[in-house]
């Protein structure tokens, strides 16, 4: 399924592009290669698990999956002096 990352985890899927059935022997992985390629061209990034399933299905393996950028690191906040310490210093 293709899901918007800004939506809830169990939110509505944008499009179903295949299915995975781990209970069959061997596990069944069916993906629509054209739909996968279309979404990848639009900038979709597969999770690590989906990238492994894509590799098993032989879909979208023209290169490694796009790297997911690490979230930006927030700079440490400067701590304000305690109000009591400032009042004591003013006396």
pLDDT tens for each residue of 32-75 = 888 888 888 888 888 888 888 888 888 765 544 445 455 666 67
- Is 85 a domain residue? no
- Is 4 a domain residue? yes
Range from 12-26, 51-65, 73-87 carrying the lowest mean pLDDT:
73-87
- Is 79 a domain residue? no
- DSSP alpha helix (H) spans, 21-91: 33-41, 48-57, 83-90
Domain hosting residue 60, numbered range: 1-67
Dihedral angle sign, alpha carbons of residues 66, 44, 54, 10: positive
Phi and psi angles of residue 89, each rounded to the nearest 5 degrees, phi first: -70, -30
Instruction: Look at 84 and 68; give whichever has higher pLDDT.
Output: 84
Domain count along the chain? 1
pTM: 0.54
- Is 16 a domain residue? yes
- DSSP alpha helix (H) spans, the chain: 33-41, 48-57, 83-90
- Is 19 a domain residue? yes
């Amino acid at each position: 399924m293709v899901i918007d990352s800004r939506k809830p985890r169990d939110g509505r899927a944008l499009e179903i592009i295949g299915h995975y059935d781990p209970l069959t022997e061997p596990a069944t992985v069916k993906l629509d290669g054209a739909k996968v390629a279309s979404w990848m061209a639009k900038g979709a990034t597969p999770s690590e698990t989906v990238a492994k399933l894509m590799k098993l299905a032989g879909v979208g393996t023209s290169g490694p999956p796009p790297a997911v950028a690490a979230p930006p690191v927030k700079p440490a906040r400067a701590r304000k002096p305690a109000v009591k310490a400032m009042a004591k210093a003013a006396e």
